[in-house]
Structure 1
């Protein structure tokens, strides 16, 4: 089978590899779509934390079942996606049902080889039924589930102000599910094209350009000087993360979805007097995946708005570097295989 391997930062190689053997407790999938995410882009440019080369990237996947193996209630040829965070099942997090933050987490395409290949063997318990969704939709379930999970983690309530910093693919999902939760959403980014996307496609009324002076004052004006009770960072940028503390309302919650390699710092007195809550949001759970699928089926989410670039599998190596350039306006590149 054809396989695309990221051998070193900035380098892809197509290789002919063997079809995976079906391990005990696994199912064999035939990959149909591969969504390109920020993790893939960061791995390619050499900035992804906890990453080793060579690695087969790809975890936003839609597939058909080639061999259901141990999967109960699944059939050959059935359209599926899957939860790509492979957990151990025995650590403290798993024993408490927090599989998304397993101590021994193995994320497909990050810690173990992913889906940029024709066939992939995955644990049968990770499978998610397609429920009539198309391949494009199924490949978008995972990144949108990241956003849905962060909103559930923050406990977003109807009517409260939520500031989402970063309007990339993950940030857009956060924005969408904050809106679905009934929040008043403010989108913040340094890219005017992405902010316009929020207005045009996601119908977000309030956007803030982080490059302009007076961003904090603009947010204060939007919220009638209350400031957002939820701030969510989806940038993974150190300066943006540390700046986000300054936008938080008293009694607010700050949720970090973006991942940063370095230490972060903030004013303890300012944080303390707000009795603020600081938390991270990692991956997603089956509940989040089902929430996304249900939202798609109910017409609350239109996945096609996210896909800005389409390529065939054999074109990925040539096209990939260009997706890192903001000038190309990539929201989501979708690969057909």
Structure 2
């Protein structure tokens, strides 16, 4: 079967691999859509944490079941989304239901080979039945679930002000699900076009340009009180450090993005505000279910997020273009 391998930094190769082995408790899935994520872009450029080469990328996946091992409620032809976080099921985090931060986590396309190939074997426990969704929608359950998980982790409440820093796909997902939770969402980004998209797609009414005295702007928008919840989805160390200044007294700061480095903060100010600092990693099956229902009901529209497409056989030629700011990529999709 055809497979695309990220052989080394800035080098993809198309090759032939053996068919996946079907083992007990698994299904072979024909991959039909692959969403291109920031993780894929960083891996290609050589700045993705915890990454080694060569590797098959791809973790935003949808497809149809080809074969199932043994008796199962699943059958050939079922449309599925894939939960790409392979957890051990035995560690303390897993035993407490926090499978998203398993101590032995292996993420498809990051720690182990992913779905940038024609077929892949997946544990049945990591399949999500995507009846009523399109292939595009099923593939984008994963990035949207990351945002939904962050909102759930922060326990966003009706009427709260929630600032979301970073208007990439993950930040946009945070905005959408914070709004669905009843929050008054404020979007912050360095790109005015992205802020306009936040207004149109995520229903955000208030925006702040990150390079134009953002703290003063936030104080004006919140009558000086600042947002109760701040999400940073940038993966940028300077932004993540500055985010401490944006949360209200008694508020919560949630790091959704990951930076390869240290974050520091001024402890007296941290204590004075009695801030809660959280990390938010990946998502759980419950988050996928929540997102699936939001997409299925039409509360979240996936279509406008997809700005670029390529056939699987053309992806290598197109990928470099998706790195260029002038291309204005929000989400690129690979079709098989």
CA apart distance, 1:261: 0.8
CA apart distance, 1:215: 1.1
* Map of 2:283 onto structure 1: 284
Q: Is the 8 A contact 1:66 1:76 kept in 2?
A: yes
Structure 1 pair 126–116 and aligned structure 2 pair: CA distance change class (3 A): same
Give distance in 2, aligned partners of 1:150 and 1:61. Answer: 21
Q: Is the 8 A contact 1:69 1:124 kept in 2?
A: no
1:18 and 2:10 correspond: no
Q: Is the 8 A contact 1:27 1:70 kept in 2?
A: no
* Map of 1:249 onto structure 2: 248
* Map of 1:159 onto structure 2: 159
* Map of 1:109 onto structure 2: 109
* Map of 2:304 onto structure 1: 305
Unaligned segments of structure 1, at least 5 residues:
none
Q: Is the 8 A contact 2:28 2:121 kept in 1?
A: yes
CA apart distance, 1:70: 5.0
* Map of 1:228 onto structure 2: 227
Structure 1 pair 58–200 and aligned structure 2 pair: CA distance change class (3 A): same
Structure 1 pair 46–81 and aligned structure 2 pair: CA distance change class (3 A): same
Q: Is the 8 A contact 1:231 1:253 kept in 2?
A: yes
CA apart distance, 1:25: 2.2
Kindly report which structure 2 residues correspond to 1:135-174, keeping only aligned pairs within 5 A, or say none. Answer: 135-174=135-174
1:46 and 2:54 correspond: no
Point out 4+ residue stretches in structure 1 off by more than 4 angstroms: none
Note the alpha carbon deviations across 1:44-66, whole angstroms, 9 max, x for none: 11111000110000010011001
Q: Is the 8 A contact 2:34 2:115 kept in 1?
A: yes
Note the alpha carbon deviations across 1:180-210, whole angstroms, 9 max, x for none: 1010001111112211111122221111111
Q: Is the 8 A contact 1:190 1:210 kept in 2?
A: yes
CA apart distance, 1:323: 1.2
* Map of 1:9 onto structure 2: 9
* Map of 1:215 onto structure 2: 214
CA apart distance, 1:237: 0.4
| TM-score, normalised via structure 2 length | 0.98
Give distance in 1, aligned partners of 2:52 and 2:70. Answer: 30
Give distance in 2, aligned partners of 1:298 and 1:132. Answer: 10
Structure 1 pair 121–175 and aligned structure 2 pair: CA distance change class (3 A): same
Kindly report which structure 2 residues correspond to 1:69-88, keeping only aligned pairs within 5 A, or say none. Answer: 69-70=69-70, 72-88=72-88
User: Aligned-residue CA RMSD in angstroms?
Assistant: 0.9
Note the alpha carbon deviations across 1:238-271, whole angstroms, 9 max, x for none: 0010010110100000000100110110100001
Q: Is the 8 A contact 1:234 1:258 kept in 2?
A: yes
* Map of 2:326 onto structure 1: 327
Q: Is the 8 A contact 2:36 2:60 kept in 1?
A: yes
Give distance in 2, aligned partners of 1:130 and 1:72. Answer: 17
Q: Is the 8 A contact 1:85 1:108 kept in 2?
A: yes
Give distance in 1, aligned partners of 2:297 and 2:276. Answer: 33
SS of the counterpart of 1:308?
Answer: strand
Unaligned segments of structure 2, at least 5 residues:
none
Q: Which moved more, 1:268-277 or 1:69-78?
A: 69-78
1:89 and 2:83 correspond: no
